[in-house]
Amino acid sequence: MLRVIVRRLLQLVVTLIALSALIFIWLRNLPGGPVEALLGERATPASRALLIKALGYDQPVLVQYAKFMQRVLTGDFGNSIRTGDPVTEVIGRAFPATIELAAVAMIIAVGLGVPLGYLAARHRGRLLDNLSIAGTLLGISIPIFFLGYLLKDVFTQNIHWFPPSGRISTGVDNTDVTGFFVLDGLLTREFDATGDALWHLILPAFTLATIPLAVIVRITRASVLDVLNEDYVRTAEAKGLRHKTIRGRHILRNALLPVVTTIGLQTGALLSGAVLTEKVYNWGGLGTLITDSISGGRDYPVLQALILLAALVFVVVNLLVDLSYAFIDPRVRVR
């Protein structure tokens, strides 16, 4: 087990180093060069030379890469071109918004997806099953930003159930402690702020949850169907075990392995959906930051940090998924 973990960690480090090298190459080959990206096209040769020296671009490539890595490892990604603030600060501000959104989305996706998939499998071929199949197919075929606009149109314009955008209403007094608005409200006992933040979360979280929900329902259904055909389930039924016992100890426990993988992979991939969802609801998280860093003149220092961060999260989540196997399935642990 330990050997496997060490090997996976090494692989992960290699992947991240390779990615950082690619990002480094990318930055050096920016359209117009990194100096132009910083100074704009109308810079004087003198200021250009000054910046080249200041950035260390007159030094050998390997030295530059080493310095780049040194800065990356100490968390120094430079300053945002757009705002001039340190990149870590810019990202730090946006981070809680996305994590909050992603967490609620995953709670929705898992909380609805696993039971729904299980029920669909148990009622195979009947109405609930067919509805869930149709729903999941639609879920993976619909452009989620369109779904976002649709939900927004229905629930904020036609019936005013939810606020159209943002994370909190203007006028609601929330004290910023952690940046997680729901949590902040609880910590400072400003429960109206918590309520308001949750109220703002519902539509975006449902939009973001669409794809993971659809995928989780499908995988759970398929996996439970596989297990239902196993001999040991029939044996358990023949033994006269109670339904609850069969469901929990025989079916779900065995069917859960692919579901856990799916949940992990979908969590890692949430940032893709977040970029789209956050734009629809003007959310102001990492997704919004990515969009703004590209469309408002490319903000390369922010982009490179975001890409590395996204990769780190994605790869670590994948690793955790693999390792979680050992805890669910004792057979894996033995190897």
- CA 283 to CA 293: how far, in whole Å? 15
33 is written with which tokens?
């060069």
Site membership for another protein, residue 8 (CB under 8 A) = yes
Percentages of the chain per state (helix, strand, coil), in multiples of 5? 80, 0, 20
Among the residue ranges 42-50, 66-74, 235-243, 309-317, the one whose residues contact another protein (CB under 8 A): 309-317
- CA 147 to CA 74: how far, in whole Å? 40
Among the residue ranges 12-20, 39-47, 91-99, 248-256, the one whose residues contact another protein (CB under 8 A): 12-20
- Contacting another protein (CB under 8 A), which of 113, 185, 273, 301? 273
User: Are residues 145 and 65 in contact, defined by beta-carbon separation less than 8 angstroms?
Assistant: no
Site membership for another protein, residue 245 (CB under 8 A) = no
Site membership for another protein, residue 227 (CB under 8 A) = no
User: Are residues 281 and 162 in contact, defined by beta-carbon separation less than 8 angstroms?
Assistant: no
Backbone torsions φ then ψ of 143, nearest 5 degrees = -65, 120
Give Dmax over CA atoms of the chain in angstroms: 87
Closest distance to another protein from the beta carbon of 45 (Å):
22
Site membership for another protein, residue 43 (CB under 8 A) = no
Site membership for another protein, residue 56 (CB under 8 A) = no
What dihedral angle (degrees, nearest 10) is formed by the CA atoms of 113, 115, 121, 127?
A: -80
Site membership for another protein, residue 218 (CB under 8 A) = yes
Q: Which residues contact 307 (CB under 8 A, 6 or more apart)?
A: 19, 23
CA atoms within 13 A on the CB side of 318: 12
The size of the interface with another protein (CB under 8 A), counted in residues, is 62
Among the residue ranges 71-79, 184-192, 236-244, 256-264, the one whose residues contact another protein (CB under 8 A): 256-264
User: Are residues 298 and 285 in contact, defined by beta-carbon separation less than 8 angstroms?
Assistant: no
Among the residue ranges 81-89, 108-116, 187-195, 255-263, the one whose residues contact another protein (CB under 8 A): 255-263
Site membership for another protein, residue 282 (CB under 8 A) = no
Reduced to 3 states (helix: H, G, I; strand: E, B; else coil), residue 258 is helix
The conformation of residue 79, written as its DSSP 8-state character, comes to B
- CA 268 to CA 148: how far, in whole Å? 21
Among the residue ranges 42-50, 116-124, 242-250, 291-299, the one whose residues contact another protein (CB under 8 A): 291-299
Q: Give the residue with the Cβ less far from another protein, 4 or 39.
A: 4
Q: Give the residue with the Cβ less far from another protein, 241 or 311.
A: 311
Residues that bind another protein (CB under 8 A): 4, 7-8, 11, 14-16, 18-19, 22, 26, 31-32, 137-138, 140-143, 145-146, 149, 153, 157, 211, 214-215, 218-219, 222, 258, 261-262, 265-266, 268-273, 275-276, 279, 290-291, 294-295, 298, 303, 307, 310-311, 314-315, 318, 321-322, 325-326, 332, 335
